[in-house]
Structure 1
Amino acid sequence: MENISYCKMFSLSKPKASVALKHIFFALSLILYVLIIIVNFMLIVIILLEKTLHKPMYIFLCNLCINGLYGTAGFYPKFLFDLFSDSFEISYSACFLQAFVIYSSALCELATLTVMAYDRYIAICRPLNYHSIMTNTLLVKLLLFSWIFPAFSYGGALLITNTMSLCGSHIDKFYCDNLLIMKLSCKSTDTHKSYGLICTVIYVLMVLFIIYSYCTLISSCRKCAESKNKFKQTCVPHLLSLVNFAFALLFDTMYSRYGSRDFSQDLYNFLTLEFLIIPPVLNPIIYGLKLTEVRKRALRVFINVKVTDSK
Structure 2
Amino acid sequence: MMNSTQVSYFILTAYFDTGAFRYLYFVIIMVLYMLIVGSNVFLIVVICMNRSLHEPMYLFLCSLFVNELYGSTGLFPFLLLQVLSDIHTVSKAFCFLQIFCLYSYATEEFFSLAIMSYDRYLAICYPLQYNTRMTTHKITVLITVSWCFSSVLCLVPAALSAPLQLCGNIINKVYCDNYYIVRQSCANITVNNIYGLIGTTLAISCPVTLILFSYMKILRVCFSGCKQSRQKAVSTCTPHLVSLLNFSFGAFFEILQSRFNMSGLPNMLRIFLSVYWLTCQPLLNPVLYGLNVSNIRITCEKMLFA
Distance of 2:138 and 2:86 partners within structure 1: 48
Q: Which amino acid aligns with 2:44?
A: I
Per-residue CA shift, 1:87-145, capped at 9, x if unaligned?
A: 32111100000111111111110010010011011111122221121111110011012
- Verify the 8 A CA contact 1:5 1:167 in the aligned structure 2: no
Counterparts of 1:197-212 in structure 2 under 5 Å? 197-205=197-205, 206-212=207-213
Instruction: Please list every run of at least 4 consecutive aligned residues from structure 1 whose deviation after the TM superposition is greater than 4 angstroms.
Output: none
Deviation by residue 1:160-211 (Cα, 9 ceiling, x = unmatched)? 1112111111111111111111112114422111111111221232224313
Question: Does structure 1 conserve the Cα–Cα contact (< 8 Å) formed by 2:182 and 2:189?
Answer: no
Distance 1:67 1:271 in 2: 20
1:256 pairs, out of 255, 258, 264, with 258
Counterpart of 1:245 in structure 2 is 247
Q: Which runs of 5+ in 1 are unaligned?
A: 305-311
Q: 1:20 offset after TM fit, Å?
A: 1.9
Partner residue, 1:266: 268
Alpha carbons of structure 1 residues 6 and 47: separation in structure 2 relative to 1, 3 Å: same
Name the stretch that deviates more: 59-68 or 77-86: 77-86
8 Å CA contact retained: 2:14, 2:267: no
The within-5 A match list for 1:1-311 is: 1-205=1-205, 206-222=207-223, 223-304=225-306
CA drift of 1:285 comes to 0.8
Task: Identify the range of structure 1 (194-203 vs 258-267) with the bigger mean alpha-carbon deviation.
Answer: 258-267
SS at match of 1:10: strand
C-alpha displacement at 1:265, in angstroms? 2.5
CA distance in 2, matches of 1:13, 1:274: 18
Counterpart of 2:8, as a letter, is: K
User: 1:196-249, CA deviations, whole angstroms, 9 ceiling, x for partnerless residues?
Assistant: 111122123222431332233123123233432332332100100000101111
Secondary structure of 1:61 counterpart? helix
Contact 1:107 1:150 in 2 (8 A): yes
- Tell me if the contact between 1:125 and 1:217 (Cα under 8 Å) persists in the aligned partners: yes
Alpha-carbon offset, residue 259 of structure 1? 3.3
Q: In structure 1, how many angstroms separate the alpha carbons of the residues matched to 2:281 and 2:111? A: 15
The unaligned stretches of length 5 or more in structure 2 are none
* Identity of matched residues, %: 37
The 1:224/1:6 distance shift into structure 2, 3 A limit, reads farther
Contact persistence 1:161–1:178 (CA under 8 A)? yes
Q: Is the 8 A contact 2:14 2:271 kept in 1?
A: no
8 Å contact from structure 2 (residues 4, 164) kept in 1: no
Q: In the superposition, relative to structure 1, how do residues 164 and 50 fare at CA in structure 2: closer, same or farther (>3 Å)?
A: same
Report deviation, 1:5.
Answer: 4.7
1:9/1:89 contact within 8 Å kept: yes
1:8-33 Cα offsets, whole Å, 9 max, x none, are 11111343343122211111000000
- With normalisation by structure 2, the TM-score equals 0.95
Distance in 2 between residues matched to 1:113 and 1:211, nearest whole Å: 12
Task: Using structure 1 for the length normalisation, give the TM-score.
Answer: 0.93
Count of aligned residue pairs for this structure pair? 304
